[in-house]
Amino acid sequence: MSASVESPSWRTVEVGRLVLINNGPLTGRIAAIVEIISEKRVLVDGPSSEEKFAVPKGPIALSDVLLTDIKLEIPRALRTGTLKTFWEKAEIDKKWQDSKWAKRSQRTERRKALTDFQRFQLLRAKKQQRYEVRKALAKVKAAA
């Protein structure tokens, strides 16, 4: 009897790991961990080319960020200009926009911005779609 042991693929706190800030004035922005200050704080910097994602270099508590799967191969204590070069070379903004996480947050933002009438139109469209699907299903069942 043999057993194979595999290491877990957890997201670890490491230099170069991309984080999503979920608390404070920079909520919803992405940054890279540049240095680990202590077990509860890290130094982050987000030199994104898009203004809505840019994060100034500074310390942040790990309780205020979410670790992502995206990781940059960078040395410790990198300056903002050098990090920007690595950031653009790895096309982090594009990777982030293509991620399910970013798409889901864009969808929730878009839904938050709907007016009452637009929510009503969405409800009617969903009802119409369900009706069409059920009608097609009934037609297939009747033919079988």
Say if pTM beats, i.e. exceeds, 0.85.
Answer: no
The chain-wide mean pLDDT, for the chain, equals 92
* CB of 44 closer than 8 Å to CB of 68: no
Which amino acid, one-letter code, is at 139?
K
34-57 tens-digit pLDDT: 999 999 999 999 998 888 889 999
pLDDT at 85: 94
Select the more confidently predicted residue: 121 or 52.
121
- Confidence class for position 107, pLDDT limits 50, 70, 90: very high
pLDDT at 6: 73
CA separation, residue 128 to residues 50, 115, 118, 132 (Å): 38, 20, 15, 6
Read off the DSSP letter of residue 62. G
